[in-house]
Structure 1
Amino acid sequence: MNLPEGKKIYFASDNHLGAPTPKESFPREQKFVQWLDEVKKDAAAIFLLGDLFDFWFEYKTVVPKGFTRTLGKLAEITDSGIPVYYFVGNHDLWMNGYFEEELNIPVYHKPQEFTFNTTTFFIGHGDGLGPGDKGYKRMKKVFTNPVAKWFFRWMHPDIGVKLAQYLSVKNKLISGDEDVTFLGEDNEWLVQYCKRKLKSKHRDYFVFGHRHLPMEIELNEKSRYTNLGDWIGYYTYAVFDGEDLKLLYYKK
């Protein structure tokens, strides 16, 4: 992607809309929609790195109720010609065509590499990457198993969605969420993952979400790891202006 002069690339992650309740998350949704409305003015592209919703499951003819303002704003942005890219997180693993068909947003289930001008980015949500986190990795295999998804799809949405929302909030092993405290570079699994990826190929920036903790860590003299934080307590996002990636706080 060639970045036109004056245009920027924006990154955001981990809104968890609907948590702990739709009513309580509504002000956060309003704030995020306001941010989208502002960045669309100079955005060449917008990357959403997962967990936009605290739970999302696509039945063949049904999607979860709510999030109308967010979905409408995303449709408006893509209709205007600004591309939006989505990476599924551990709370919205079960995307299966709705974003592509209704919003014209490509959805990725694994990290991807992008090049803006001559700068390379390696982008993903971040769950289940690197060493450790074995309990969640086992659980993720169950959740992504086609047979398990088939059985869940046959559960009535009123029951299935309510059950999933309860587990998403209450069971941290199922959700895959980690403690939101800096563990030190040697114990941050995504830092270790990025350093391992650098052994096989150089990337200028590694950008992930999932940790709910804003971080910028130099991996070596030419590569940096950025974690986007979240839109629950931090309201952080990243912006690339063609030369540098900056992690910023949205204060409005």
Structure 2
Amino acid sequence: MKKIYFASDQHFGAPTPELSLPREKKFVAWLDEVKEDAEAIFLLGDLFDFWFEYKTVVPKGFVRILGKLAELRDSGIPIFFFVGNHDLWMHDYFETELNIPVYHDNKEFTFSGKTFLIGHGDGKGPGDKGYKRMKKVFTNPFSKWLFRWLHPDVGVSLAQYLSVKNKLISGDDDVKFLGEENEWLVLYAKRKLETKHYNYFIFGHRHLPMIIPVGEDSQYVNLGDWIGYFTYGVFDGESFELKKFEK
């Protein structure tokens, strides 16, 4: 039976290309494994710790990841990519080079009669107003135009330096489960259910693997990450499960 796979928050390139390489190879091994029975693969953002597309330039590296995605896509496996807060400046490179659609916000899908709301998860739900304001600045066309004037050697190096200051990447792991009443993506899912039913809310961003019931026949899923957990989601047509890649 064909399955649908989901993964998020790989943050490749961090904290350094050398330290990222083993994780990249592990992710390629996972892609090799799931391609045997994958109906589709969803990547829910922060695949790279930083990504910016100049008009004719993209960040150096990641050839194993990009080559494997191209191989799977050329073999006929649909792949869907949702930008995260670390790769939100992705434009059309994946679409033109890999034939992988790129989404900048949540999108609904239906599989085997089950409805899914899928996205990275950043900036959703109540609170976090500081980040929401910052995201508006970063996604503003004028801000992107200004950054594009920096030489790639300067712009990419600066962005990578600032990105690895993120506590999730630097190793200062303060991510803890806040309880259902305080997890803002749980609150977001429950609010969405007031207007429309979804069987599954699939998100990343929080770096914590979890499945939480949010309503009758409705679950919130966070996919975890590929920094410390190496977790992924799989839907077999009847149920959704979180698994850990051990190889």
Q: TM exceeds 0.5?
A: yes
Q: Report whether the alignment pairs 1:181 with 2:176.
A: yes
Equivalence for 2:141: 146
Q: Report whether the alignment pairs 1:250 with 2:210.
A: no
- 1:119 CA displacement: 0.6
SS of match in other structure, 1:170: coil
4+ residue runs over 6 A deviation: none
- 1:179 CA displacement: 4.3
> Any residues of structure 2 matched to 1:26-105 within 5 Å, and which?
26-105=21-100
> Any residues of structure 2 matched to 1:232-243 within 5 Å, and which?
232-243=227-238
The one-character-per-residue Cα deviations of 1:87-131 (angstroms, maximum 9, x if unpaired) are 000000011100000000000000000000201100000000001
Q: Report whether the alignment pairs 1:211 with 2:206.
A: yes
The one-character-per-residue Cα deviations of 1:65-106 (angstroms, maximum 9, x if unpaired) are 000000000000000000000000000001110000000000
Letter in 2 for 1:168: S
Task: Structure 1: give runs of 5+ residues left out of the alignment.
Answer: 1-5, 173-177
SS of match in other structure, 1:206: strand
* Structure 2 CA distance for partners of 1:171 and 1:238, relative to 1, 3 Å: closer
Letter in 1 for 2:137: V
Equivalence for 1:175: none
Percent of aligned positions with the same letter in both sequences?
75
Query: C-alpha distance in 2, partners of 1:61/1:8?
Result: 36
Letter in 2 for 1:137: K
Query: C-alpha distance in 2, partners of 1:228/1:25?
Result: 20
Letter in 2 for 1:95: M
Q: Report whether the alignment pairs 1:113 with 2:125.
A: no
Query: C-alpha distance in 1, partners of 2:224/2:67?
Result: 24
Query: C-alpha distance in 2, partners of 1:35/1:117?
Result: 24
Query: C-alpha distance in 2, partners of 1:123/1:152?
Result: 29
Equivalence for 1:3: none
Query: C-alpha distance in 2, partners of 1:182/1:57?
Result: 31
Query: C-alpha distance in 1, partners of 2:184/2:83?
Result: 19
Query: C-alpha distance in 2, partners of 1:74/1:179?
Result: 32
TM-score (norm 1): 0.95
Aligned residues: 242
- 1:243 CA displacement: 0.1
Task: Structure 2: give runs of 5+ residues left out of the alignment.
Answer: 168-172
Indicate if the aligned counterparts of 2:112 and 2:238 stay in contact, CA closer than 8 A: no
Q: CA RMSD in A?
A: 1.0
Query: C-alpha distance in 1, partners of 2:135/2:192?
Result: 22
Letter in 1 for 2:193: L
Query: C-alpha distance in 2, partners of 1:170/1:141?
Result: 21
The one-character-per-residue Cα deviations of 1:186-244 (angstroms, maximum 9, x if unpaired) are 11010000000000000000000000000110112210000000000000000000000
